[in-house]
Amino acid sequence: TGLNLKNPDLFRQAALVGGTWIAASDADIAVTNPATGTVLGYVPNLGAAETQQAIDAAEVAQKAWAARTAKDRSNVLRRWFDLMMAHQDDLGRILTFEQGKPLAEATGEIGYGASFIEWFSEEARRAYGDITPTNAPDKRILCVKQPIGVTAAITPWNFPNAMIARKAAPAFAAGCAMVLKPSELTPFSAIAMAVLAEEAGVPSGLFSVITGDAATIGGVLTSSPVVRKLTFTGSTGVGAKLYAQSAPTIKKLGLELGGNAPFIVFDDADLDAAVDGAILSKFRNNGQTCVCANRIYVQAGVYDAFAKKLAAKVKGLPVGNGADDGVVFGPLINDAAVAKVSSHIADATGKGAVVTLGGKPHALGGTFYEPTILTGVTSDMAVASEETFGPVAPLFKFDTEAEVIAAANDTEFGLASYFYSRDIARVWRVSEALEYGMVGVNTGHVSTTEAPFGGVKSSGLGREGARQGLDDFMEIKYICMGGI
């Protein structure tokens, strides 16, 4: 496979079910390296019985875990964080080999993922309750926070480590257990995290990682009355389905779904900074993140200058196998991703947009694609309403602030948004007017463990990271103490 890990045990072709490792065989699920098209390894094809087994074990382990002190849970998380950082290079290599992103981005993701474990190891000790002034002299009003219980997580392939870390860390900090189904495209990063979690002292059964048919495993997780919360990151379509499946058991839901991020450049912006921010936001992970700029709106006065500067900077950025030095654009995840990118470009050019950079599959073949810039993009094109999830920067021209706010909000989604302006009054007005869970002002990068990540409208429910991220894994219990 060419992985060459310092610690080969981190690459385990096995799933962890209720404290027991189940090994894969060649007849199980193959995981492919998107840069080479070769099989990286196999993970077990598990189903309903193993999922139920994991839930049963989680139910037992959770009670003992919740009974331990917050400081004790914090120490285990801290060790998990330390181990992730100690193995950052190996974890980054596994991630690049199954997902495709360049090694620098992959090791960066390990650091980002680990930062959630560090943060929640700290937050574990700060799950404060309240004592409220009473309504009656013989009573006292107390509120305590308690873990939700057994939780389930279903995660995507674009951040195979960080999407798990920011769910599992607050869950364990709060005193919950978790049964995880990672993406079938990138299970090895999840499995490596479980290897290190065991080593850190996460008790047997508290954390299961199940691989197999998504709908079968998802069906058992959502219908189980023992599972009290489902946390999902992925497409809005699957999220809505899981929401419906969770209704009969009235589960709590954490949903991080699709986005369609606007990136607005006003005439008064620092244009060079806006170009750098657009590259960071648009092209990170080759455009395959839910907070990637999907629609770039540039005010008429600076439109041509912005388009020129953007093309000059993106042109020549190296495309290739993410494991090779200096590569900035890895492959797309699979053929379906390539088809979507191609169809968005064809639709836009068919309706009058102009390709000013790239515009076709890369000469390297496979799922490599040329970073692409489109000018003359209008609201009737597919790129205006659908998430492209690829390296395509469509530039829309606008005239007024009111017009661009209306355009930016004209979507079912509401995850991340960005704008560049140096006018302080406009910064306030536009920040307040954008119907999004997150607004980046004069920056193309907002994600960090200290801040609440999440969306509104069809982009989801709940927040991850920050202190709110811990609250999402806790229930508030009101105790009315009478007879005083």
Residues acting as catalytic residues: 256
The Cα 246–Cα 191 span in angstroms is: 26
| Tokens, residue 461 | 């429910």
Instruction: Using DSSP, state whether 448 is helix, strand or coil.
Output: coil
**Minimum gap (Å) between residue 293 Cβ and ligand ADP:** 18
Q: Element (H or E) spanning 137, and its range?
A: none
Residues 6+ apart with CB under 8 A from 39: 30, 31, 32, 33
DSSP string covering 24-93, please? --TTSEEEE-TTT--EEEEE--B-HHHHHHHHHHHHHHHHHHHHS-HHHHHHHHHHHHHHHHHTHHHHHH
- Nearer to ligand ADP by C-beta: 7 or 235? 235
190 or 200: CB nearest ligand ADP: 190
Report the residue number, 155 or 260, with the smaller CB distance to ligand ADP.
Answer: 155
Closest to ligand ADP by CB, 300 vs 336, is 336
State in angstroms the smallest separation of the CB of 242 from ligand ADP: 6
Scanning 284-381, the segments in alpha helix (DSSP H) are 303-314, 335-350
**Closest distance of CB 172 from ligand ADP, Å:** 20
Q: Which is nearer to ligand ADP, 242 or 470 (CB)?
A: 242
Of the pair 184, 423, the CB lying nearest ligand ADP is at 184
Residue 148 exposed, middle or buried by CB count within 10 Å (0-12, 13-18, 19+): buried
Do residues 281 and 310 lie in contact, with contact meaning Cβ atoms separated by under 8 Å? no
The residue of the chain with the least Cβ separation from ligand ADP equals: 218
Q: What is the rounded CA–CA span in Å between residue 9 and residue 3?
A: 12
Other C-beta atoms closer than 10 Å to the C-beta of 75 total 16
Q: Smallest distance, Å, CB 11 to ligand ADP?
A: 20
Q: In angstroms, rounded to a whole number, what is the distance separating the alpha carbons of residues 252 and 456?
A: 16
Residue type, 394: P
Q: Which positions touch ligand ADP (CB under 6 A)?
A: 154-157, 181, 183-184, 214-215, 218, 234-235, 238, 241-242
The least CB distance from residue 411 to ligand ADP, in Å, is 18
Reduced to 3 states (helix: H, G, I; strand: E, B; else coil), residue 367 is coil
| Alpha carbons within 13 A on the beta-carbon side of 30 | 9
Cβ 253 to ligand ADP shortest distance, Å: 13
CB nearer to ligand ADP: pick between 112 and 420: 112
d(CA 211, CA 158): 17
Three-state SS at 390: coil
φ/ψ of 70, rounded to 5, equals -60, -35
The smaller minimum CB distance to ligand ADP, of residues 150 and 337, is found at 337
Question: Cβ of residue 157: shortest distance to ligand ADP, in angstroms?
Answer: 6
Shortest Å, Cβ 447 to ligand ADP: 17
Phi, psi of 274 (to 5 degrees): -65, -40
Residue 53 to residue 324: CA distance in whole angstroms: 41
